[in-house]
A and B are shown apart, each in its own frame.
Chain A
């Protein structure tokens, strides 16, 4: 906490009471919002077509009536880049907040929907719809239409989270070791069932599935955003209600209850929010890993673990980082595209190992 950079950056908060990081956290929130704004604008302006930043901004402010952008560029921006960026913001925020909520719930900085099998369960739900949507599960697809895919992923994620919590919790105490081991088992089981479905899939479905599993923001459309957006926004809107409860839960379930927190309700809402946000994200973008670990961990180093600030900050930074990863995935092998899941894993996995190295004996907690 005494790095020189931080000292200069946060000197103006020197008069805040010692140990109170809320002023700093609010300042960081503003910075993160600005960062997301900048990254969004550049995301809109970069890509295979060469519409410039100024062109894009001008077209927004002046309606673009005098041909600042060509009709082709306008089409590219409105039908390809904007939905892609909107999906990136939604999914990045959803993954990061899911990670932060899950870590608060399990009282462990390594809990993440991707690691403990929740994303795997959600993936199984999504694969079921992709493969069986036109046959066995067609009534479901007819009934829920556009929402069949995110709903199935949501149910898969919810079921996995519930099993996980049930297995890992004895007499109100969640065992971290049991949770991680149960997560491995659940992920493997979901993977096996997904494997069976993949075995049944035809060639076209197979190709869809492969790219979907690697994770991608490509193929984002306004229709998809209409399907994923409401679920993710609803799940994220739920999380501010949880922040005080998650803070108290850091002391353990009993102490949280002694402080007046309705622990059971906090747990149920947290599980629903994580399953909703993760499920809807996984349904449309596949396996994008490590955002949920990296983002909350970085933020805890800067603003501390107070969930009142950690959750919104995670949403902002998660969205920014995913847009950045998407920019990398679009440019590094241009004009082809690297699946974004590969990008986040290449940066995220070493980071995860670094966290493990810094925190020995994590299983003893």
Chain B
């Protein structure tokens, strides 16, 4: 389990997160939603170990600040928003970076096929020989997803709780691949991994997440199942615009903006 208690983060003297209590359990896809500047990415960065923090962040009961990079890499993999490479690595070489020997317990024989399997999973079978720099933004994002899957997938299959931290994993993707990525996240969770993902699309969140943390001004405005947080009043206040939750069919809530565009 990932657990934060009294989590506070300041950047350049400005308080971004304060007194945040939050848990993400293995077996669940936990979505973080909220307006721009509400602290979603800062929370993911803090969980990734990129920022100094007050309070506590624990992975499976171990304090993050005490973990060496190599130990932290065993427990969680992080998908950044976008990665530009300055050298002509092939797709396979990028994905293989996820398998740094000794970090995942994958032996050489297994690791040989892992990149292909991961690429097939993200719908990039046959891309292994292409140069990463020549791919589109959406393709690059999926290559990076394949890389982080390689880092923790085997451990999860062996029954050890591992986590994926995804910072806007669908931001450059078309709708088919948005759904694919959510399916991969759910599959990862069903096999015993934990997923924490920053998402912007509330309807995709409802469809894909088991649990939603709604962030507002650096704090948790609400946390619960999608059904629990999809409330007109809460979302309208947090996002500062008129929103209405409908349901089609009756059990699947969806969101309809009420602000005129014209």
Cα distance A206–B32 when bound, in Å? 68
Q: Is the CB of B86 within 8 A of A263?
A: no
Q: Which residue of A lies closest to B96 (CB)?
A: A20
A258 within 8 Å of B by Cβ?
yes
Binds B, one of A118-126, A217-225, A298-306: A298-306
Q: Mark A109-128, 1 if CB is under 8 A from B, else 0.
A: 10000000000000000000
- Point out the residue from B74, B76, B85 that lies within 8 Å of A251, measured CB to CB: B85
**Does A300 contact B87, Cβ atoms closer than 8 Å?**
yes
Q: How far is the CA of A250 from the CA of B84 in the complex (A)?
A: 9
Chain A interface helix/strand/loop/mixed: loop
Interface residues on chain B, size class: 35 or more
Q: State whether the Cβ of B154 lies closer than 8 Å to any Cβ in chain A.
A: no
The yes or no answer to B91 lying at the interface (CB within 8 A) is yes
Q: How far is the CA of A70 from the CA of B19 in the complex (A)?
A: 86
- Determine the distance from Cα of A305 to Cα of B112 in the docked complex, in whole angstroms: 19
Residues of chain A at interface, number, CB under 8 A: 29
B86, A108: Cβ atoms closer than 8 Å: yes
Chain A residues with CB under 8 Å of B103's CB are 259-260
Q: Give every chain A residue within 8 A of B84 (Cβ-Cβ).
A: 365
Does chain B have a CB within 8 A of A74? no
Residue pair B93, A248 in contact (C-beta under 8 Å)? no
CA distance A223 to B259 in the complex (A): 81
A67, CB-defined interface residue at 8 Å = no
Do residues A258 and B93 form an inter-chain contact, with CB atoms below 8 A?
A: no
Q: How far is the CA of A161 from the CA of B126 in the complex (A)?
A: 42
Inter-subunit contact A248/B97 (CB<8 Å) = yes
Q: Is A140 an interface residue (CB 8 A)?
A: no
User: What 1/0 flags go to A335-365 for Cβ under 8 Å of B?
Assistant: 0000000000000000000000000000001
A19 & B90 in contact (Cβ 8 Å cutoff): yes
Question: Is B176 part of the binding interface, using a Cβ–Cβ cutoff of 8 Å?
Answer: no
Q: Which of B71, B86, B98, B115 contacts A259 (CB 8 A)?
A: B98
Nearest-CB residue, chain B, relative to A248: B97
CB-based contact A260/B100 at 8 Å: yes
B77 at the interface (CB under 8 A from A): yes
Cβ of B68: which chain A residues have Cβ within 8 Å of it? 262
Residues of chain B within 8 A of A365, CB atoms compared: 84, 86
CB distance from A264 to the nearest CB of B (A): 9
The yes or no answer to B78 lying at the interface (CB within 8 A) is yes
Q: Is A261 an interface residue (CB 8 A)?
A: yes
Nearest B-chain residue to A362, judged by Cβ: B86
How many angstroms from the CA of A304 to the CA of B128 in the assembled complex? 14
Judge if A252 is at the interface, Cβ distance under 8 Å.
yes
Tell me whether B83 is interfacial, beta carbon within 8 Å. Answer: yes
B240 adjacent to chain A (CB < 8 Å): no
**Interchain CB contact under 8 A, B93 and A260:** no
> Which residues 68-83 of B have a CB within 8 angstroms of A?
68-74, 76-78, 80, 83
- B88 engages A305 (CB within 8 Å): yes
Q: Counting CB contacts under 8 A, is B151 at the interface?
A: yes
- A255 at the A/B interface (Cβ < 8 Å)? yes
Is B50 located at the chain interface by the 8 A CB criterion?
Answer: yes
Pick from B83, B93, B112: contact of A304, CB below 8 A: B93
Known: A18-B129, A19-B128, A247-B97. A258 touches B88 (CB 8 A): no
Residues of chain A lying within 8 A (CB to CB) of residue B88: 300, 304-305
Residue of chain B at shortest CB distance from A260: B73
What residues of B have a CB within 8 angstroms of the CB of A262 in the complex? 68-70
B97-115 interface bits toward A, Cβ cutoff 8 Å, 1 = contact, 0 = none: 1101001000000001001
Residue in A17, A18, A19, A305 whose beta carbon sits within 8 Å of that of B87 in the complex: A305
Minimum CB distance partner of A258 in chain B = B78
Q: Does B49 count as interface, using CB distance less than 8 angstroms?
A: yes
A263 and B69 CA atoms in complex are apart in Å by 9
Does B48 count as interface, using CB distance less than 8 angstroms? yes
Question: In the complex the two chains form, is B69's CB within 8 Å of A260's CB?
Answer: yes
Q: Return chain B residues, CB-CB under 8 Å to A250.
A: 85-87, 89, 97
Q: Which residue of A lies closest to B72 (CB)?
A: A260
Verify B80–A254 contact, CB threshold 8 A: yes
A104 to chain B, nearest CB (A): 8
Using an 8 Å CB-CB cutoff, how does the interface string of B57-77 with A read, 1 for contact, 0 for none? Answer: 000000000001111111011
Q: What are 10 contact pairs spanning A and B, CB under 8 A? A: A19-B91, A19-B129, A21-B90, A172-B50, A252-B83, A254-B50, A254-B80, A259-B98, A260-B71, A262-B68
Residues of A within 8 A of B (CB): 17-21, 107-109, 172, 244, 247-248, 250-252, 254-255, 257-263, 300, 304-306, 365
**Leading 9 A-B pairs by shortest Cβ distance:** A19-B92, A260-B73, A305-B87, A19-B128, A19-B90, A18-B129, A260-B70, A19-B129, A258-B78
- Beyond A248-B97, A251-B97, A262-B69, list 18 extra A-B contacts (CB 8 Å): A17-B92, A17-B112, A18-B129, A21-B90, A107-B86, A107-B87, A109-B86, A250-B89, A252-B80, A254-B50, A254-B78, A255-B80, A258-B72, A258-B78, A259-B151, A260-B69, A260-B70, A260-B74
Residues of B within 8 A of A (CB): 48-50, 68-74, 76-78, 80, 83-94, 97-98, 100, 103, 112, 115-116, 126, 128-130, 151
